[in-house]
A and B are shown apart, each in its own frame.
Chain A
Amino acid sequence: MMSEAKSREEVIESLNQVAAEMHDKMLKGQPPTMTLPVRSKTNIEFNKKLGVYKYGKKQTIRDATSLGSARQLLRALHVIDFIEEMIDTAKSSTLREMYYISEGWGLGKFGTQNESNNIAEDLEIVTRCMREDFKLRPEEDGARMIGNVTIEERNRRGDWMRINCRDDVGDSGYGLPYNVEPEKIRLIDQDIDFIMAIETGGMFDRLVENGFDESARCALIHLKGQPARSTRRMIKRMSETWGKPVMVFADCDPWSFRIFASIAYGAIKTAHISEYLATPSSTYLGITADDILAYDLPSDKLTPKDIEALKAELTDPRFATSEWQDQINMMLDEGQKAEQQALAKYGLDFVTDTYLPEKLAEYGLSI
């Protein structure tokens, strides 16, 4: 559990607050409600003190005047009941398990897994607790990591295992558990200059095979697309504890920009806990829109969906800086996108011998 973790009583008290809001309204002869922040890009604000984006003041009131909202309220109550029971019996469950358990909730059962995920998030936000407090685990497993980093992980038997993420692991690297808080993972030692987060598995494997972690003295982390909470949390802990810069190496398309934003500034869906997950000092290394031209990379035409996503990013406060606006507009002008693996046009070693050293040098990291 996180260092700021709340006590059992605190968690139960905040959950009961949600039920109390509903009950109080009904006592007054009004439809029950649940008040929560608006979860969209129109309601995230930069928090200067934390250096990340957090939800703003806009609130939405979900009230039981439509069947859909009323069902949401009922489900929330069932989830609260379920969580309190788990806290009482010291059990935990995955979100997926909760989805199946909800089969027994009658009118309050979930239609889709997505609904149960959303309600868990709603409750996190309203109660200012983390889902770890709720004993709810995500499905997604954390990412893989390779590099000269030594950590200790507490295993199932409760023993601390020391692991060097270069020498004690195979080619697939060290697999991050879903919980990377100090109670589960201790950061012991390192001999690296920076942390490199890589979007695609193909590129991660290429850098591993080429021994880039050693030649460039870095830790390689595979993001697996949009990174899981534990991946982002691990990156943040390593970066802050050891004072190492984070370089993000992704495809050149609108979705890669969003991956970067969630690592550096916080994701819209989890803006309530941005200060735990985001690493404001991260750098977007590439592939940039101008790389496509500069390196003459094979590229694909932007799809209508890509263009729509880029236009949405233009009005996203996280991309309000002139650098990002330039990148996005440039990509819109060229109408092209490129994959990381397009670099293979110049041979398998081009990425490690030429491209990355040149890009890293721009940020003062020489190999």
Chain B
Amino acid sequence: MSGPTAFGRGRTAAGGISLAKRTTSTMKQASISEFFEKNKHFLGYDTLQRSIITAVKEAVDNSLDACEEHRILPDIAIELRKVPKKNDRIIMVSQDNGPGIPSKSIEKVFGSLLFGSRFHTIRQTRGQQGIGITGVVMYSQLTTGKTTRVTSKITKEATALQMDIGLDTKKNAALVSNRTRTHDFLDYNGMPVEHGLKVEAPMKAKFQRGRKSVGQYLRMTSIVNPHATIRYRAIDDNGEIIEEFVAERVTDRLPRPVRSIKPHPHGLEIGALNRLLRDSTERRMSLFLRHTFSGVPMRAMKETLSHAEVDPATTPNEVSPEEAQRILNAFNTVRLMAPPTDCLSPIEDLLIKKGLSKSVDSAFVATVTRPPNVSLGNPFQVEVGLIFGREDIPADGAVDVLRFANRVPLMYQQGGCLLTKAIESVSWKGYGLEQPGGKGVPKGAATILVHLASTNVQFTSEAKEAVADNEEVHNEIRLALQEVGRHLKNHRKKSAQKAKAQEKFELVNEILPAISTKASSLLGREEPDLAPVITRIMNAVFCEDEVTWDKEAKVHRCRIKIHNYTARPRAYSILAQYPETDTATFVENELGGRREVKGIWCWKLDTIPPGEAGNIEFSIQGLEHNDWNATEVFFRGSGDIIGASKIDEGILEQIRTEEEIATKKALEESNMALDDAMGHDADNSGDLDAEELQKAMMGPIGERLEHSDAEEAIAQHDIDDSGTLDREELLDATQSDTSRQSGLGEWGDE
């Protein structure tokens, strides 16, 4: 673990600012503006082009965070106005529909640089870069000498509060002027704002378009924040609109709230451990280990201390450096639990797909969200997306690379970034993208998106624009990219087959009858029977499939048609892929069939005579429109079907095994948690009473019981009415959440 981010960022106050009270000693005397000036390269204000992106980014991050925390679907509008008759002067206007900021907090949020330590709260946060919205006020003041206008409205007040904020750089405090109340706070529709925040900051900056621009930054932001609507407009100094778009939200589902987790012992450095020991208020080492870290169940705590030969009763502050080192060593030999990974908030396959599809028109989108993983005690999760067949970019250029860390677009230092290196390490040729020399970023009319979500994203430098090397993360990205690569390859193979089949259909259904009619009429002869000619020409079995969305009935309909254009009767079992989710249910399915494995249904077709076709039709309810747009068809039987693949029984078997393993693993984990919980059985009665259960909930089992309190849990699961939970009942109480199944994984490849 490399420690906390150097500067915690304040959130909008209504969201609860987590500021540390103490200011670091090196900062408190120096002039804040001097500090800003010296460090502007990693604060994001080193060039006029970058400064405007950074300012927009701070505003947008603040808005997204505040909305997320208050479970509001964000509606964010950014406007850049070039100031007439001034070179390189832009007014940045950002407005959101967030909770607004109570009047007493506005000065704090905008008026003081916030230095906070987040050492004890480890979670996936957006604000990993820059110094927050105060930096914008500072930059504005330093480059224009002007103040920033803030308008804020909270629900419970009738009017919006408006003020101009400047900075007293010596005192690190806000200078407020023109404080007023206004009724005149409207949204982009001209409607009065119920709650929201508007920031207007003039600054020295340069407007530009292209890959490193505000437009691109906002587009990227909208892809990884599919729940947000983002409006953007840039206005020239003559009042003309020079760039404008609206990225509408594609889902009403807000991201899962991120949870803080305790540090995990893996990846802990001795210095950090010493600091934790020194600052601890725990009385005993046993409690210190249990309460400071995640992944240390009772058993592991005991083993660690015994390996390290440290008395569990020792006060943490009295642990010697040698003992600390031994504890650190013991952490690596004792079996620990992985840190919880549900503290991460991935965007998820379908939402990435939607986000990508809205931002660019393309023929094909594939996305993969890898299961969470852990590197050096830090949970992380990788997501990738690939769009192919873009018509708006040339096919002979390098593909468009979109990098994100914790939902924040990375726009600089692409070459030195782990995410790029992982893309370069994949052999794209095999998946149908050009890659000169077999390495590097591939070429083609495609976009590759990589998102790394982690409680601790490690960057190469303070500028936080490139992710640092890490083998586990690299491997995860590679695996994910290879998977989308395989999807792409399948897609292209299938499109080629489909195009060929389409041609054949056109040939026998249109051209051949036309030839027959024309030749017959020229010669004055009878038209020949074309059926045997058609069989001769096609001489194959073809599969046609389509998925359509029935707007009225709100169902997806899937039709699969198997044409037998051979001289012999054919018999097949047909398997089709569908999105198996908690909500998706079959509503029409005349042929019946059965579930083969997760996400695959199987039907047995009656024998198809030569020249005829077999049909499968089914409908699925409970999916959103864009959740499903194409199926993949497989078959069992002899011969080939053009447009479908022979099912690989080995892969089916593998998926079944994976499903079993996932179920087993979940069971095992809950057992471990159970052991741990039973460790709280202080009176050794073999049962947990309410008090003991409460304690157990402080530990790992708490994750599973967090929504119900101990009494309730006992009431619900205490089958024998003993008033306590024995082992079996506890198992029952914790099992409800373990049914998460493994994803479809890499099945169906060839």
B505-545 vs A, CB cutoff 8 Å, 1 = contact: the mask equals 01100111011101110110100111011001100000000
Chain B positions within 8 Å of A22 at CB level: 515, 519
B503 at the A interface (CB under 8 A): yes
A361 at the B interface (CB under 8 A): no
With A77-B515, A107-B511 in contact, do A29 and B536 touch (Cβ < 8 Å)? yes
A207 at the B interface (CB under 8 A): no
Q: By the criterion CB–CB under 8 Å, are B519 and A19 in contact?
A: yes
A108 at the B interface (CB under 8 A): yes
CA distance A106 to B519 in the complex (A): 15
Nearest residue (CB) in A for B529 is A29
Q: By the criterion CB–CB under 8 Å, are B514 and A106 in contact?
A: yes
Chain B positions within 8 Å of A32 at CB level: 512, 515-516, 519, 533
Q: Which of A23, A70, A106 contacts B523 (CB 8 A)?
A: A23
CA distance A92 to B356 in the complex (A): 58
Q: By the criterion CB–CB under 8 Å, are A31 and B536 in contact?
A: yes
CA distance A214 to B582 in the complex (A): 98
Nearest residue (CB) in B for A15 is B522
Nearest residue (CB) in A for B521 is A81
A294 at the B interface (CB under 8 A): no
CA distance A106 to B517 in the complex (A): 13
A148 at the B interface (CB under 8 A): no
The SS class assigned to the B binding surface is: helix
Q: By the criterion CB–CB under 8 Å, are B537 and A65 in contact?
A: yes
A280-317 vs B, CB cutoff 8 Å, 1 = contact: the mask equals 00000000000000000000000000000000000000
A344 at the B interface (CB under 8 A): no
B483-514 vs A, CB cutoff 8 Å, 1 = contact: the mask equals 00000000000000000000110110011101
Q: Which of B515, B518, B533 contacts A81 (CB 8 A)?
A: B518
Chain B positions within 8 Å of A77 at CB level: 515, 518-519, 522
Nearest residue (CB) in A for B535 is A29
A64 at the B interface (CB under 8 A): yes
Output the residue of B507, B515, B525 with the most chain A CB within 10 A.
B515
Chain A positions within 8 Å of B525 at CB level: 23
CA distance A79 to B99 in the complex (A): 75
Nearest residue (CB) in B for A17 is B523
Q: By the criterion CB–CB under 8 Å, are B511 and A81 in contact?
A: no
Nearest residue (CB) in A for B504 is A67
With A23-B525, A23-B528, A26-B533 in contact, do A108 and B518 touch (Cβ < 8 Å)? yes
A184-222 vs B, CB cutoff 8 Å, 1 = contact: the mask equals 000000000000000000000000000000000000000
Q: Which of A30, A66, A67, A71 contacts B533 (CB 8 A)?
A: A30
Nearest residue (CB) in B for A107 is B514
Interface size class of A (residues with CB under 8 A): 20 to 34
Chain A positions within 8 Å of B512 at CB level: 32, 64, 70
With A65-B537, A70-B515, A74-B515 in contact, do A20 and B507 touch (Cβ < 8 Å)? no
Q: By the criterion CB–CB under 8 Å, are B530 and A107 in contact?
A: no
A180 at the B interface (CB under 8 A): no
Chain A positions within 8 Å of B533 at CB level: 26, 29-32
Q: How far is the CB of B418 from chain A (nearest CB, A)?
A: 44
Q: By the criterion CB–CB under 8 Å, are A64 and B511 in contact?
A: yes
CA distance A225 to B392 in the complex (A): 42
A80 at the B interface (CB under 8 A): yes
CA distance A32 to B512 in the complex (A): 9
A24-67 vs B, CB cutoff 8 Å, 1 = contact: the mask equals 00110111100000000000000000000000000000001111
Q: How far is the CB of B386 from chain A (nearest CB, A)?
A: 31
A78 at the B interface (CB under 8 A): yes
Chain B positions within 8 Å of A84 at CB level: 522
Q: Which of A26, A64, A67, A74 contacts B528 (CB 8 A)?
A: A26
CA distance A102 to B404 in the complex (A): 55
A6-22 vs B, CB cutoff 8 Å, 1 = contact: the mask equals 00000000001001101
A338 at the B interface (CB under 8 A): no
Q: How far is the CB of B591 from chain A (nearest CB, A)?
A: 33
Chain A positions within 8 Å of B506 at CB level: 67
A-B pairs with beta carbons under 8 Å apart, 30 shown: A16-B523, A19-B519, A19-B522, A19-B523, A20-B519, A22-B515, A23-B525, A26-B519, A26-B530, A29-B536, A31-B536, A31-B537, A32-B519, A64-B507, A64-B537, A67-B503, A67-B506, A67-B507, A70-B507, A70-B511, A73-B515, A74-B514, A74-B515, A74-B518, A77-B515, A77-B519, A77-B522, A81-B518, A106-B514, A107-B514
Q: Which 5 A-B pairs have the closest CB atoms?
A: A29-B532, A26-B528, A77-B518, A67-B503, A70-B511
Binding site for B on A (CB under 8 A): 16, 19-20, 22-23, 26-27, 29-32, 64-67, 70-71, 73-74, 77-78, 80-81, 84, 106-108
Taking A19-B519, A30-B533, A30-B536 as known contacts, 7 extra A-B pairs with beta carbons closer than 8 A to each other, sorted by chain A number, are A23-B519, A26-B515, A31-B536, A32-B533, A67-B507, A73-B515, A77-B522
